Amino acid sequence: MKTAVEELSPTRVKLTVEVPFKELEPSLQAAYKKVAQQVRVPGFRPGKVPARIIEQRFGRAVVLEETLNDALPKLYGQAVDETEVFPVSQPEIEVTKIEDGEQVEFTAEVDIRPAFDVPDYQGAEVVVDPAEVTDEDITTQLEALRQRFATLTGVERPAQNGDYVVMDLRAEIDGRNLDEQQAADVSYEVGAGSVLQGLDDALQGMSAGDEKTFRTTLVGGENAGEEADVIINVKSVKEKVLPELDDEFAQLASEFDTLDELKDSIRQQVRRNKLVDQVVQSREKALDALLDKIDIPLPESALQAEIDARKHNLEHQVAESGLSREAYLRLQQTTEEELFAEYEATSAKALKSGFVLDKIVKAEEIGVSEQELTDFVVRRAMQMGVAPNTLAQHLADNNQLPLAMMEIVREKAKTLIGDAAKVTDTAGNEVDVKAIYAELNPEQEAVGVEEAGAGEPADEAEES
C-alpha cells in the first residue's frame, strides 16, 4: 500500500491511497461469504453458494462493493498510522479507481490536528488569590451554617422579602381556567426571584388568607409565552429564625462542644479550600499564559462539534427544567446571543487547550498507571453518586476508558505546566505549589488535588 499526503489547509489533508488488489484478498473472501449468506440460489444451502455462481447470478460488482465496504475503514486507519496525521473528524472517502485484480485507489479528506510548537513554559509568572483566612471568611461560613439550621415560624403579619409563604396558584386566560397551570401548597421564599415575573411583587404585603391576581407571561406548558392572569391564595406566612451563635449551636451543627472549637475547624477548612484554589488557579493561569503564546488554527468541524455539544446540553437542560427557552435564559440572567457567543469562545479555548496538552503529553511521555485509573474512577463515582464498580463497567462497556485516560494525562500535563510556573499571591508572597500538594494529599500524587476540600450541599431550612 502506498499513501501520499496533500495539505489542503493547516487543518485539513487529503490522503491518496493506492492498494494492490492482492491486499484486498481477506476482505474479498469475507465479501463472498457475506453475499452467500444473503442470497438464495436453488440447489444451494444459504452460505454455500460458490463464488463463481454468485458472480454469474449477481455480478462481480456486488462482491467488489462488499469488499470495499469491509476493507476501506481498515485501509484508511493504516494510512493514518503510516502518515502520522492526527484526525479530528470523520473522513470523506471517495474511491477513485478500481482495476479488478490489479489495484484500488481511494482518497480521504479529513480535518487534522494542526502542526505547532509548544514554547518554553518554565518560569511563567502567575498570580493567585491569597490563602489567608480572614474574620469575614469565618463569619460568612457561620452565617451559611446558621441558614442551614434555621427554622420557619408562622407570623401574623404581611409577607416581606425573606419570608416563606405557602400558597395555591392558578392561571386564567380570558376567564378560562388552565388546568395544567395550577399548583397547590407551594412553598416559596419571597424575593427569591421566581421565573414567573411579577410573583415577588404580588406577594409583598399579602397575609394568610389573602387573594390577589396579577398579570404575567406563562413560562411552561402548552400556553408558554402567552399572557395570563395568575391568582394567588396565600395560606400561611412564615419567617426564617436563625439560631443564636453560641456553644449550644455548635453542638447542634457540628461534633464540637464549643463555638470556639467550631470556629477553629471552620478556619482550618477555609484555609484548606483556599489552598486548593491556589493550586487550581496556578494550573489554569499557567496554562492560559502558555495558550496566549501559541497561535493555533482550529479545525472547523472539530470546533463546530464542540459548540454543538454545548447547544445540545442547553436543550437538555431546558427540557429538564420544564420552562420555555426564554424563561430558562431569563432565570440564568443571559440571552441566547450572549450564551452562544460564550459557547464559541469556550469551545475554541477547550479545543486549543486539548491540542497543547496532548502535545505535552506526547513530548513528556506521560502515561497512566493502573492505580491512577482506579483513583480516577473512584473520585468520579463519588461525584456522580454511583458505585465505582458500576462506573468502571459503564466506561468499559461504552469504550470510554480511553477518554478517561486522556483526561488523566491531560491533567498531569497541566500539573507540569503549573509546577513550572513562578507563583505568587496578590500580596506578593511566593506560593510553593508542591508544598501545598504535600500538605493536602500527603499520600497521593498532585493530580486530582482540586477534589480535596469539596464542600457539602446546604440543607433545607427546617419548619416549626
CB atoms within 10 A of CB 169: 16
What burial class does residue 68 get, using C-beta atoms within 10 Å of its C-beta: 0-12 exposed, 13-18 middle, 19+ buried? buried
Q: At what angle do helices 259-292 and 336-363 cross, to 10 degrees?
A: 80
Q: What is the DSSP string of 258-326?
A: SHHHHHHHHHHHHHHHHHHHHHHHHHHHHHHHHHHT---PPPHHHHHHHHHHHHHHHHHHHHHHTS-HH
CA angle 243, 249, 253 (to 5 degrees): 105
Q: Is residue 19 exposed (0-12), middle (13-18) or buried (19+ Cβ within 10 Å)?
A: buried
DSSP 33-51: HHHHHH---TTS-TT---H
Report which of 332, 310, 328, 305 is spatially closest to residue 318, judged by C-alpha positions. Answer: 328
What is the pLDDT at residue 40? Answer: 74
The one-letter amino acid at 406: M
Residue type at position 414: K
Q: What is the dihedral of CA 215, 216, 221, 226, to 10 degrees?
A: 90
User: Please, what sign has the CA dihedral across residues 251, 256, 261, 264?
Assistant: negative
In one-letter notation, the amino acid at residue 285 is K
Q: What's the one-letter identity of residue 136?
A: E
Tell me the DSSP string of 360-414. Answer: HHHHTT----HHHHHHHHHHHHHHHTS-HHHHHHHHHHTT-HHHHHHHHHHHHHH
Kindly list the structural domains of the chain, giving each domain's residue range(s) and its CATH number in brackets, ordered by start.
2-111 (3.30.70.1050), 118-149+251-286+364-464 (no CATH), 151-241 (3.10.50.40)
The C-alpha cell 454543538 sits at 308
Q: What is the CA radius of gyration of the chain?
A: 32
| Residue 449: per-residue pLDDT | 52
Residue whose C-alpha is closest to residue 65's, from 109, 34, 110: 34
Dihedral of alpha carbons 190, 191, 196, 197, sign: positive
Residue 167, helix vs strand vs coil: strand
In sequence order, what are the beta bridge partners of 462?
A: 151
Q: Tell me what pLDDT residue 327 has.
A: 84
DSSP E strand stretches across 100-142: 103-111, 125-128
Nearest 5°: phi and psi at 368? -125, 125
Q: Any residues with CB less than 8 A from the CB of 205 and at least 6 apart, and which?
A: 158, 159, 160
Per-residue pLDDT of the chain (464 residues; tens, 9 = 90+): 999 999 999 999 999 999 999 998 899 888 877 877 767 777 677 767 677 776 666 777 887 888 899 999 999 999 999 998 999 999 999 999 988 888 999 999 999 999 999 999 999 999 999 999 999 999 999 999 999 999 999 999 999 999 999 999 999 998 888 877 888 999 999 998 887 889 999 999 999 999 999 999 888 778 888 899 999 999 999 999 999 999 999 999 999 999 999 999 999 999 999 999 999 999 999 999 999 999 999 999 999 999 999 999 999 999 988 888 888 898 888 999 999 999 999 999 999 999 999 999 999 999 999 999 999 999 999 999 999 999 999 999 999 999 999 999 999 999 999 999 999 999 999 999 989 988 888 766 545 554 444 444 334 444 44
Which parts of 47-102 are beta strand (E)?
A: 92-99
Scan for cell 421564599, then name that residue: 189
Could you tell me if 328 and 320 are in contact, meaning their C-beta atoms sit under 8 angstroms apart? no
Q: What is the pLDDT of residue 457?
A: 35
Helix (H, G, I), strand (E, B) or coil at 231: strand
Name the residue among 427, 189, 142, 197 with its Cα closest to residue 324.
197
Q: Are 319 and 145 in contact (CB under 8 A)?
A: no
Instruction: Name the one residue in this structure whose C-alpha cell is 491518496.
Output: 16
Alpha-carbon gap, residue 236 to 166, rounded angstroms: 5
